[in-house]
Structure 1
Amino acid sequence: MLLPDLNSSLNHALQSLAAMTGQRDRELLARTLVATLSELMEQSVITLYRLVGDEAILVAQAGTAIPPDQIAEPSIIISDRLEFKSVIDSRCESITSLDAHTTSVTIPIYGQQEITALLVIITNANFDQSLSLPRDILTIYSNYLNLLDESETDTLTGLLNRRTFDNNLEKMLTECTDAEVQKIEINSHSRKPPSSELPHWLAVMDIDHFKRINDEFGHLYGDEVLLLLSRCMRRNFRQTDKLFRFGGEEFVVVLDRTCEVDASKVLERFRTAIECYDFPQVGRVTISIGFTCLNGKDDPSTLVGRADQALYYAKEHGRNQVCFYEGLIAEGNLTAEHFTDDVQLF
């Protein structure tokens, strides 16, 4: 049921909203939302899932006492949960009676016109009455996510922007460091590492002779090339990969955990896809790519500098190719350099 003192509930809700909208980290924002709703509703279990492809990934769960049968799984195939599929298909809430006293409500959360998450509330209260304030909070949460999207994405392509990359790279490196520690502690005798132990990869890419495209065809067609290339990126990379536009003709991809061979194959596949794509009016366009392994021991300037150096090697040796920094070092084609915080990408 809703907390009995309405004024106290509203004051608490306002404080929670202030806490939510005061942060930009989406994971922390989501956990704050779940914790807030859990405090506002007694005898309820609140669970938030993020949608990634055909899966619903657990973000956070809270409740005063979560029964064993209501503990959320880390990931769920959407087609295996009828209420999830119903919400996504109908774009409406799904309400299910679990028993005579318990109701489950699945609510869609939107980001840039698409359903990006699902909130599940299992409550023993009258859900119409108890969900009035939580629904309002969810609306504010969704609106705030849209504001974050607008500030974190590039206007033309819709990809994440340079500022977002700068703000998140250190977090990615910290996660890599944590993974390295876990790798030592867990499964040290495994012959084949699980995907959670595989590294991330940073790739920088640049459109070859882009200035020539702008000079010959005009900036309108140049912008069309950038837009179409960004769409190709979304088609060729996984939803768990992070795609950035740095401005101009420069792009960055952070590949989710995979092995070196597969990282190289993915990037080569994308390079080939661009080479074979028929850009209207412009025709053939190619890209050069340099990539490196994300190592939690590196600082951001070192990481970007390595990928940048591999990119310039590709540019100076014929363009339209993918070059791996660590491979170039091992072959003696590059000499390792020290990069400082003053390094500038491109």
Structure 2
Amino acid sequence: MDSLLKHMVDMTGHRDHTRLDLSVVAAVQELAQAVRTRVLTIATVRNQRFIRPRAFVDRDTPARIEENTDGLGEPLANYPALEACLASHGASAEQVNADGVLVLWLPIWIGDKADTCLEIVHGSPYGPDTTQLISGVVSVYRNFQNLLDYSERDSLTGLLNRKTFDDQLAKIMGESCRGLVPPGQEERRHECTEQKQWLAVVDVDHFKNVNDRFGHLYGDEVLILIANLLQSSFRSHDRVFRFGGEEFVVLLRSTTLENTRKIIERFRSNVAAHEFPQVGKVTVSVGFVALNAYEPPVVILGRADQALYYAKTHGRNQACHYDELVEQGRLKTVSSNATAEFF
């Protein structure tokens, strides 16, 4: 009982989805004596559903965020028991493998939608007492996740909202301080392979035309579908925000310039290839820049916004890197950007 109370206090003491995910997998792993516990994201892209791990723990490692997942993840069709459970709005699904190992899935239903699922692997089926204990932990997790979503999520797209951006940016900027050298002392030889934190600004091309031609209901559907493509194209530990209107911001954690470009290009091409109902083809423009803890957020946002503006005024449907544009003489370095749309 003491262990259960400790985990409940820990779960409800966070104001961050990442820490909440870590708390629930740690709680279930210990209380259910599981072999492995994972939090999975369930995403829909082009009418196909995928699952992607978000946080996990096993007997040999502490709870941690899954940082090695790129792309869409695995098709939900690879997990027929879970797929049937979601189709019927079921509370749980399980599968006993040939070696007797149990895999238990518990979708986290918020209303009629489940975009998160808890997966528990155990050496044998659970008894009723353990099942009831797990269900109680999952209920607390669902309720608290619902509270966080209400305060942190954009009501239309389900992405993180503008007011959560400052806290997340401060957190990721703190991470970028590790091993940082003062401006002017960087070794640019290894820029393409150096791990950095990144900020990307996304804008839907000609979105006003979509609203004017098809109406705001179809415009809202375009934004929802682009939000889905953002979540499925970027990595599970990146953070995606809706800033309002057709503007989105992404914080990419610890990756190289080459990989950042690849991830952003994957998103851009996914949007360009998508067939939007009634509207048809839609494209996006992106501006991105590396974070630097020596510079204020308004400057970093302004530079990403400059790169975005360049993309939109030079053909659209492309992603532009701020520093690359400066090096090529296409943009001039400024200490601030008074025309940035964010402030």
Q: If the TM-score is normalised by the length of the shorter chain, which range does it land in?
A: 0.5 to 0.7
Distance 1:231 1:19 in 2: 30
2:171 corresponds to which residue? 171
The CA deviation at 1:292 is 0.9
How do 1:266-345 residues align onto structure 2 when only pairs under 5 Å count? 266-275=263-272, 277-339=274-336, 345=342
- 2:221 matches 1:224: yes
- 2:194 matches 1:205: no
Higher helix share: 1
The CA deviation at 1:173 is 1.9
Amino acid at match of 2:38: Y
How do 1:10-29 residues align onto structure 2 when only pairs under 5 Å count? 17-29=8-20
Amino acid at match of 2:283: T
The CA deviation at 1:304 is 1.7
The CA deviation at 1:150 is 4.0
Distance 2:196 2:202 in 1: 20
Distance 1:155 1:292 in 2: 28
Alpha-carbon distance change, 335 to 72 in structure 1, aligned in 2, over 3 angstroms? same
Q: TM-score, normalised by structure 2?
A: 0.67
The CA deviation at 1:144 is 1.6
Amino acid at match of 2:245: G
What percent of counterpart residues are identical?
A: 38
The CA deviation at 1:235 is 4.8
1:185 corresponds to which residue? none
How do 1:1-346 residues align onto structure 2 when only pairs under 5 Å count? 3=1, 9=2, 17-33=8-24, 48-51=37-40, 59=56, 70-72=59-61, 88=82, 91-92=92-93, 107-111=104-108, 112-119=113-120, 128-129=128-129, 132-178=132-178, 180=179, 198-275=195-272, 277-339=274-336, 345=342
Question: Are the aligned partners of 2:53 and 2:236 in contact in 1 as well (CA < 8 Å)?
Answer: no
The CA deviation at 1:264 is 2.6
The CA deviation at 1:222 is 1.9
| Per-residue deviation, residues 83-114 of structure 1 (Å, max 9, x unmatched) | xx798566435689x9xxxx987654533524
- For the aligned residues, what is the CA RMSD? 4.5
Alpha-carbon distance change, 301 to 106 in structure 1, aligned in 2, over 3 angstroms? farther
| Per-residue deviation, residues 150-183 of structure 1 (Å, max 9, x unmatched) | 43332222333223333312112223334x47xx
Amino acid at match of 1:71: D
The CA deviation at 1:289 is 1.4
Alpha-carbon distance change, 46 to 176 in structure 1, aligned in 2, over 3 angstroms? farther
Amino acid at match of 1:146: N
For CA contacts below 8 A with separation 6 or more, give which structure has more relative contact order: 2
The CA deviation at 1:279 is 3.8
| Per-residue deviation, residues 123-166 of structure 1 (Å, max 9, x unmatched) | 9xx95446644542332122222332343332222333223333
Alpha-carbon distance change, 305 to 340 in structure 1, aligned in 2, over 3 angstroms? closer
Distance 1:121 1:296 in 2: 44
1:187 corresponds to which residue? none
Alpha-carbon distance change, 56 to 39 in structure 1, aligned in 2, over 3 angstroms? closer
Amino acid at match of 1:327: E
Question: Are the aligned partners of 1:30 and 1:60 in contact in 2 as well (CA < 8 Å)?
Answer: no
1:67 corresponds to which residue? none
Alpha-carbon distance change, 33 to 303 in structure 1, aligned in 2, over 3 angstroms? same
